[in-house]
Chains A and B, each alone.
Chain A
Amino acid sequence: MTPSQRPGIRRSALGLRPPAASVASAELVPQPSLTLDALGKKCPIPIIMLADRIRDVPIGQVIEVLADDPAAKTDLPAWCTLKSQEFVRAADLPVGWSFLIRRTY
């Protein structure tokens, strides 16, 4: 597997992008069809919630996971790689992070 097949892994694991508040980037950020609140839940619970619910959004649409367990920063992109789903981005929240995942199949 080449690094290009692992979208966002380094960015998300080693340094998150700036928050979505920036006007310039706001247009580029897809709107989630569904948001899962996993704040306060330890890994692997956020991943289990995502795996359980991703089929509730249409193919091509985006699901958002809110989580504050540090392991989620690594494990959500890693899950997407394993499951061939698209990891769109991670952004800082006041507490934790917002992760966007696009359902590809």
Chain B
Amino acid sequence: MTNEQSEGNVAASASQPRSGWPLFEVFLRSKRGLNHVHVGSLHAADPQMALRHARDLYTRRNEGVSIWVVQAADITASSPDEKDPFFAPSGDKVYRHPTFYEIPDSVPHI
């Protein structure tokens, strides 16, 4: 019915074997002074096309002044699961927070 087969062959070396174009994650800087933030994803044949698609898809109303795209397959991720032991080391170190320390109210500016 469609030509997906040949399309798949062209992109066979890419990371997304069943899809013609690989998946890119899109990050936007909404204005100067702020970090780039993840906003979503899209498919594109290459990074240049991904940038153009990201502009058309995610910045139709001046939502961004800068875009990053990165192929989804190139991202290394931890698990977002809050129970993940990966984040355990920071869980029991309350002394890293200023509120851990008791200072008399009479001491100013601290």
Chain B associates with chain A:
no
Binding site for B on A (CB under 8 A): none
